Structure formats: C-alpha cells, structure tokens
Amino acid sequence: MKKELLIASALVSTLGAASVANAVTATMSGGYHTGLVGKSVDDNTSDTTTRVSEGSFTVSLSETTDGGVGIASSFMLANEDVNTGLETAGLTLTFTDGSKLDVISAGNSAGGHDISVPGGAGEAGLTVTTANRAQDGLDFFNVATAVGVEWHSAADFMADGLKVSASFSTDTGAAPSASLVLESSWGLGATYVTSAGDTALTIGAGLADSDWKINTTAPSTGSNGFHVGFSAVTGDLTVAAGYANGDKVGGGTTEYEISDNTVTQVGAKYVAGDITLSIGYTAGEGKDSTTLGTAGTTEDAKDTLAAGISYAVASGVTANIGFKDIDSKNNGATDTKGGTSWYIGANMSF
C-alpha cells in the first residue's frame, strides 16, 4: 500500500510539473451589474418596479506554436442570470500574416460586421407579445450550425482600412422532424475604416443565407438578408445608422416565417469627460405567418426610442440611467404591449 501511494504521489507530481511547463496562457474577465427597472405597459396593468442582476466569469485560453500560429479558445465559468447554459467557444487559429480561422461554432460572418448604433443605457426594456415578430437587430438573419468555419482577413486586405470575412456551416445530421432544422448557412462581411478631415468613418456590411428543413421539406424561404451601416466619430461625438432587409424562419411551440423584414437604426453618443450621453431609435417591420410556405399579408411593427446616461464612477465601475419607449403593433393593429420603462443601476467589470 505504501509503495502504491508513493507511485501515485510521484505520478501526480510529474503530471503537475508537466502541466505547469506546458500550460497555455489563461486570462480571466467578467462583470456584474445590478439595478432597478420600472415598467409601465400600455394595457393599463399596474406599474411595476423590479430588481435585475447578472454576473459573468469567462476564462480565455491562448498559446502560440513555434511556427507563430496562435491557438485560442474560451469558456464561461459562470453566467448567473435567467438564461440557462454556459457559453463556450470553438478554436481560433491566428496566422503570421494576421488572418484568422475560427473552427467549431464559428458563427456567421454577416453578424460580425454590423455597425454598433448608440442607444440607451442599462437594462430598460419591455417584452412585447410573442405574436409580434418584427425584428429590431441588424443581424436577425445571422444563423449557423456548430459544424462550421469562418475566415477573417488581416487588416488592410487589398486596400488600406479594409477587413473581410467569410463563413460556412453545414448539416449536423439532425433528422428533420416537426421542428425546423438548420441544414446549412453561409455569410460574407466587410468593414472599411477611413477618415474625412477630423472625422473617423467606419462602414460595415454583411450578406447571408441559409437552408432549413421541416418534416424533410424545405420551407419556401430561409433566414437570409443583408445589412449596411456607418459610424462617424468627430471628437467626442459619434453618429451612426444602419439598415437591414431580409427574411427569417423560426420555431418553438409555433413555427413561423417572416418575410419582407426591414430594420432601420439611427443613434448618437456624446462623451463629456466621465459622462456619456446616448440616444437611439429603431424601427422594425415584417410580415409574419405561422404557416411555413405561406407569406404573411399584414405587418408587425416595433418602434423603439432609447436614451441613457452613463457615468464612470471609478476604473471598471459605471453608473447607468436608461429610458426606453416601445410602440408595438401586431398584424397592423396596436397590441397594447408596448409602453415605457426606466433603469437605474451600476455595472462592475474586470
């Protein structure tokens, strides 16, 4: 028994030394925010005030081979909110020319080049009726399976300030059933950065398409579309706008198909020392149908006005005050699920 313990101890010591000698570089990041949200809904239900909080802890891993190729991945150790599951990444290979290749859960390239348009601050928001499927993001058609790759060019690809990417994902082998199954997808994206006098200008665009099946039959459309936008920064002022157009299919308890989606976003942000003021407006419209293959005839719509004030209290600590107003229409009629909300709280990050 004593000999076995000695052997086990030596083995553990050897493995420990080996793991230290060959360990990849690990860095940690995360944050926590908490605050109060007040909501006033158009259907005249009682106004509510609730507490919201969320924490996250992420570990990033990276190492470089003798040939200069970087290998990186990450996983989320904790994500303490109402969402289930912990987010994990695939592998990212960085080559000596500055290009990158994401493998396993690589995503869709169209979503990586949408312009970030300023809006509110904090967690102000309302949940409109699920029957209103108007989209409010520029990358609503951004889908991919876990079996995929995405290539990112190096900076200044073919022109100063240009970066491009391309992605493809394929069938995971899941059998088509009464629920939609994503068969494949592809995406293209580009970002161009230049200057005009004292203004730094960024232009982003993306294009994507996908194939789906349900009960071995492909629906008449998949999630597809394009987006384009710009951001102009002059001193402490940022002005940005974006537009997206396309179709979307989805599932759950009720399968649906949304055609003729459009999303328009405009916003501005001004930084005055430790204080950031922001405001944004989003208009989304789309014709939805709960019967795949049958186009909808009346539009859902969701218009959102958001504003916020952020104050940098200390390094990594930000106080936020936010306001949001949502006008929601389902099948062309006001659905009384819009309203207003406010938020006040703080965010701590490391």
How far is residue 318's CA from residue 320's CA, in Å, rounded to a whole number? 6
Please report whether residue 230 resides in a domain.
Answer: yes
Please report whether residue 19 resides in a domain.
Answer: no
Spell out the per-residue pLDDT of the chain, length 350, in tens: 443 333 334 333 433 434 444 688 999 999 998 899 998 887 667 788 888 888 888 889 999 998 999 999 888 876 555 444 556 678 899 999 999 999 888 889 998 899 999 988 888 877 777 778 888 899 999 898 888 999 999 999 999 999 999 999 998 877 767 678 888 999 999 999 999 889 999 999 999 999 888 776 677 778 899 999 999 999 999 999 999 999 988 876 677 888 889 999 999 999 999 999 999 999 999 888 877 767 777 888 899 999 999 999 999 999 999 999 988 888 877 776 778 899 999 999 99
Q: What phi-psi label fits residue 20: left (phi over 0), alpha (psi between -120 and 50 degrees) or beta?
A: alpha
Please report whether residue 86 resides in a domain.
Answer: yes
Please report whether residue 109 resides in a domain.
Answer: yes
- Given this model, what pLDDT does residue 199 score? 95
- CA 63 to the chain's CA centroid: 26
- Residue 86, token pair as written in the block: 């912990």
- Given this model, what pLDDT does residue 281 score? 96
Please report whether residue 322 resides in a domain.
Answer: yes
How far is residue 235's CA from residue 87's CA, in Å, rounded to a whole number? 36
Q: What is the pTM of this model?
A: 0.83
Please report whether residue 340 resides in a domain.
Answer: yes
Domain containing 59 — which CATH number? 2.40.160.10
Please report whether residue 20 resides in a domain.
Answer: no
* Domain count within the chain: 1
- Given this model, what pLDDT does residue 233 score? 97
- Given this model, what pLDDT does residue 127 score? 74
Planar angle of CA 309, 140, 160, nearest 5 degrees: 75
Domain containing 279: what range? 32-349
How far is residue 97's CA from residue 91's CA, in Å, rounded to a whole number? 18
Please report whether residue 38 resides in a domain.
Answer: yes
- Given this model, what pLDDT does residue 231 score? 97
